[in-house]
Amino acid sequence: MPVMTIVEAIRDALHYEMARDDRVIVLGEDVGTSGGVFRATDGLFEKYGRARVVDMPLSESGIIGVSVGLALAGLVPVAEIQFMGFTHNGFHQITEQLARIRYRSWGSLSAPVTIRTPFGGGVRAPEMHSDAFEAHFVHCPGLKVVAPATPQDARGLLLSAIRDPDPVLFLEPLRGYRLIRGEVTTGEYLVPLGKARVAVQGTDCTVVAWSAAVEVAAAAAAAAAEEGISVEVIDLRSLAPLDTETLRASVTKTGRVVVVHEAAQTGGVAAEVIATIQEDEEMFYSLTGPIRRVCGADTPYPVQMLEPAYLISPQRVLRAIRAAVRA
Amino acid sequence: MDDPPGSAGGAALVAQTPPLLQVLDPEGRLQVEHPPLSDEEVVRALRGMLLSRRFDERCIALQRRGLMVTLAPGIGQEACSVGSAMALDPARDWFVPQYREAAGMLWHGLPLVQAFLWHMGSPLGFMVPAGKRFLPFQAAVAGHLPHATGLAWGLRLRGADAVVLAHFGEGATSQGDFHEALNIAGVVRAPVVFFCQNNYWAISTPLEWQTAAPTIAQKAVAYGFPGIRVDGNDLFAVYVATRDAVARARAGEGPTLIEGVTYRLGIHTTADDASRYEPLELRERWQDKDPLLRLQRYLQRRGVWTEALASRLEDEVRRELDAAWEEARRVPPPRLEDSLERVFAEMTPRLRAQREALGEEG
Question: What 3-state class would DSSP assign to A264?
Answer: strand
Contacts of B151 in chain A (CB under 8 A): 69-70, 72-73
Q: Rounded to the nearest 5 degrees, what angle is found at the Cα of B86, between the Cα atoms of B85 and B88?
A: 70
Interchain proximity B181–A62, CB inside 8 Å: yes
For position B5, what pLDDT does the model report? 45
Nearest to A106 among B123, B153, B349 (CB): B123
* Annotation says B268 is catalytic: yes
Q: In a mutagenesis test of the A interface, which of B147, B153, B337 is the best target, namely the one with the most A β-carbons within 10 Å?
A: B147
pLDDT tens digit sequence for B182-233: 999 999 999 999 999 999 999 999 999 999 999 999 999 999 999 999 999 9
Write out chain B in H/E/C secondary structure: CCCCCCHHHHCCCCCCCCCEECCECCCCCECCCCCCCCHHHHHHHHHHHHHHHHHHHHHHHHHHCCCCCCCCCCCCCHHHHHHHHCCCCCCCCEEECCCCCHHHHHHCCCCHHHHHHHHCCCHHHHCCCCCCCECCCCCCCCCCHHHHHHHHHHHHHCCCCCCEEEEEEHHHHHCHHHHHHHHHHHHHCCCEEEEEEECCEECCEEHHHCCCCCCCHHHHHHHCCCEEEEECCCHHHHHHHHHHHHHHHHCCCCCEEEEEECCCCCCCCCCCCHHHCCCHHHHHHHHCCCHHHHHHHHHHHCCCCCHHHHHHHHHHHHHHHHHHHHHHHHCCCCCHHHHHCCCCCCCCHHHHHHHHHHHHHC
3-state class of A80 per DSSP? strand
Query: What's the pLDDT tens digit per position in B103-136?
Result: 999 999 999 999 999 999 999 999 999 999 999 9
Supply the pLDDT for residue B359: 83
Strands A197-200, A292-296: pairing kind = unpaired
* DSSP letter, residue A325: H
Q: What is the pLDDT of residues B62-87, one digit of tens each?
A: 999 999 999 999 999 999 999 999 99
Which residues make Cβ contacts (< 8 Å) with residue A312, sequence separation at least 6?
A213, A216, A260, A261, A262, A294, A295, A296
The residue from B264, B294, B297, B355 that is catalytic is: B264
Return mean pLDDT, chain B: 94
The per-residue pLDDT for B140 is 97
Give the pLDDT score at B13: 47
| d(C-alpha B46, C-alpha B83), whole Å | 10
Cβ–Cβ gap B342/A57 under 8 Å: no
Question: Across the interface, do B145 and A65 touch by the CB < 8 Å criterion?
Answer: yes
Give the model's pLDDT for residue B7: 44
Q: How confident is the model at residue B360 (pLDDT cuts 50, 70, 90)?
A: confident
What pLDDT, on a 0 to 100 scale, did the predictor assign at position A327? 80
Instruction: Tell me the mean pLDDT per 10 residues along chain A, length 327.
Output: 97 98 98 97 98 98 98 98 97 98 98 98 94 97 98 98 98 96 97 98 98 98 98 98 98 98 98 98 98 98 96 98 94
Closest approach of chain B CAs to the CA of A67, in angstroms?
6
Residue A269: predicted pLDDT: 98
CA atoms within 13 A on the CB side of A89: 18
Output phi, psi for A71, to 5 deg.
-65, -40
Asked if B152 lies within 8 A of A69 by C-beta distance, the reply is: yes
What is the structure's pLDDT at B18?
87
Residue B2 pLDDT > 80: no
Query: Is the pLDDT at B1 greater than 70, yes or no?
Result: no
Q: Residues B151, B164: contact at Cβ < 8 Å? A: yes
Size of interface A-B (CB pairs under 8 A): 140
Chain B: give the shortest CA distance to residue A314, in Å. Answer: 32
Q: What is the pLDDT of residue B362?
A: 55
Residues of A in contact with B144 (CB under 8 A): 97
* pTM exceeds 0.90: yes
Count of residues for chain B?
362
Distance CA A149, CA A153 (A): 7
> What local confidence, expressed as pLDDT, does residue B11 receive?
45
DSSP conformational letter for A298? S
Whether residue A105 lies within 8 A of chain B, CB to CB, comes out as yes
Instruction: Please check whether residue A73 touches B, CB under 8 A.
Output: yes
Residue type, B54: R
More confident position, B309 or B362 = B309
